[in-house]
Amino acid sequence: MTSLSLPITADTTGRAPNEQAKARREADSGWLQFDAQLGPVAVRLMTNCTRVYADYATVNHDVQTTGESAGFRTTVVVEKRRSWRSGIVHYHIKSEVEERFTVRKRARVVPHIDGMINLSVARHLPDFVQLHAAVLQRSDVGLVIPGGPGFGKTTLTAALIKRGWNYASDEFALIDPRTVELAPFPKSLSIKPGSVELLEREGIELTTLPRFHRVDKGAIRCLPATHIRRDALADRVTPRMIVFPNLESTAEPTIREIPRGLAAMHCLRRCFNFARWGPAAMETVAQLCEQCSCYELTTGNLAKTCELIDTSADEAAREPIGNAKQTTLATPQIDAARNSTEIVTAH
Amino acid sequence: MSALTAPTIHVDTRLCCRQDLRLRPIDDGALLYDPVRDSVHYLNATALCVWQQCNGAHSIAMISQKLHDEFDGIELDTIEADVTATCTQLLNDALLIHEAAA
């Protein structure tokens, strides 16, 4: 991984005139630096735009640090430039994972910063097996909700925080293979327009939050977990329950236990870095599933869905860790062919 | 290998488990890691039982008979058809190989 650095002060010695001018511009415009700590990931934003700085700080102030942190760091640089020819402002965004991306609307900058950070974590963060999942905790029960976009993961996560669950992540389940614990990654939640009304009905105030624009989701609101509950952030989480959501907005919510082997396969399909870990990822995910009760959830009415999860979590809390309830096998049927499933990794 | 090119198997066919696969038992079956294709397969308890019986010494008919002895109430013909289908899929997924190739 290469590290990025931009000159914050002008150093004119030995530089070509155009570089000197560039350095002066940067110094004159005053580069700002924002540091945040998202669990094991130190994030640094450098920008010459006070508004971009303010946008990013607004949704990340609760994870802000003084700037020094050991371990994995990712840096995103946002440079605001005005074209001398047209006068139009552009924002040039770059990081370790993307050389340069240019957007014209400021509303698209923060989502793009988040996207770059996610990509950097998925590609470069060592030490963790990563699943695409939300992670929450209530009492001693760690809850993992694997799922891709459109599964209702974020809406469900916000509603559960409101009901007393603590928030660890909405993007990555970062599994430490040594302990099978989950490290937090408490990035703010990206709330889609379709979820705003649902969440406001749950008592979550969204109107005062800044609005940004994502190409895939449209106008989103970035919702810090601490905006829902001041004390909502979780530390390391011991997983006890895995729930695979399936959004059917008109359906009656249902939850049913599934075999752990099948759950492991569902998790492995959501593994970002299987290619790096190979069989060790399989072992880690198998251990994760063995210490959890695993469910498939059809989500519908949000309040009822949360109640189902709360009830199942109460049951999981009563089971000793590492001795989660055994799934009872149905009468053996020779249905092996239908249940032999496969994951093929992306290289 | 696609189903179109898969070799046909019959009740006398003897198949072998690939020895380079990594087996990870889990409470209701097992996960199998294939280092060649960098893929993971999940077998439920019954599929695992069939896969483990494929050691080159047992034909599909013998495996079916063994399952018939263990599970009451299922016709031998039904079991034989399902074991053949299972073995065909395991062969297609390269989790089994023909005895001659072992």
- Do residues B50 and B90 make contact, with C-beta atoms less than 8 angstroms apart? yes
With CA atoms as reference, the chain A residue closest to B74 would be A333
- Do residues B26 and B100 make contact, with C-beta atoms less than 8 angstroms apart? no
User: How far is Cα B33 from Cα B25, in angstroms, rounded to an integer?
Assistant: 11
Task: Supply the pLDDT for residue B45.
Answer: 86
Q: Which of A267, A334, A345 to mutate to test the interface with B (most CBs of B within 10 A)?
A: A334
pLDDT beyond 60 at B53? yes
> Among B29, B38, B89, whose Cβ lies nearest the Cβ of A337?
B89
Q: What is the CATH number of the domain that holds B25?
A: 3.90.930.60
Measured in whole angstroms, the distance separating CA A251 from the mean position of its chain's CA atoms is 27
Instruction: Examine residue B4 and state whether it is found in any structural domain, yes or no.
Output: no
The reported pTM is 0.85
User: In total, how many domains does chain B have?
Assistant: 1
Count residue pairs from A and B with Cβ separation < 8 A: 112
Instruction: Examine residue B49 and state whether it is found in any structural domain, yes or no.
Output: yes
Question: What angle do the packed helices A153-162 and A193-201 form, to 10 degrees?
Answer: 20
Instruction: Examine residue B3 and state whether it is found in any structural domain, yes or no.
Output: no
The whole domain housing B51 covers 14-97
Instruction: Examine residue B2 and state whether it is found in any structural domain, yes or no.
Output: no
- What parts of chain A have a pLDDT lower than 50? 1-15, 27, 323-347
User: How far is Cα B102 from Cα B48, in angstroms, rounded to an integer?
Assistant: 19
Contact B41/A341, CB-based, under 8 Å? yes
Residues 6+ apart with CB under 8 A from B99: B14, B15, B16, B56
> Strand, coil or helix: what is B80?
helix
Task: Supply the pLDDT for residue B27.
Answer: 81
Q: What is the pLDDT of residues B16-28, one digit of tens each?
A: 999 999 999 998 7
> Strand, coil or helix: what is B96?
strand
Instruction: Examine residue B91 and state whether it is found in any structural domain, yes or no.
Output: yes
Task: Supply the pLDDT for residue A336.
Answer: 42
Instruction: Examine residue B81 and state whether it is found in any structural domain, yes or no.
Output: yes
A260 CB-side CA count, 13 A: 28
User: How far is Cα A335 from Cα A315, in angstroms, rounded to an integer?
Assistant: 30
Task: Supply the pLDDT for residue A22.
Answer: 55
Instruction: Examine residue B8 and state whether it is found in any structural domain, yes or no.
Output: no
Distances (CA, A) of A48 to A156, A219, A266: 36, 25, 43
Task: Supply the pLDDT for residue A215.
Answer: 83
What percentage of chain B reaches a pLDDT higher than 70? 90
Instruction: Examine residue B7 and state whether it is found in any structural domain, yes or no.
Output: no
> Strand, coil or helix: what is B25?
strand
Task: Supply the pLDDT for residue B11.
Answer: 87
User: How far is Cα A221 from Cα A344, in angstroms, rounded to an integer?
Assistant: 35
Contact B29/A335, CB-based, under 8 Å? no
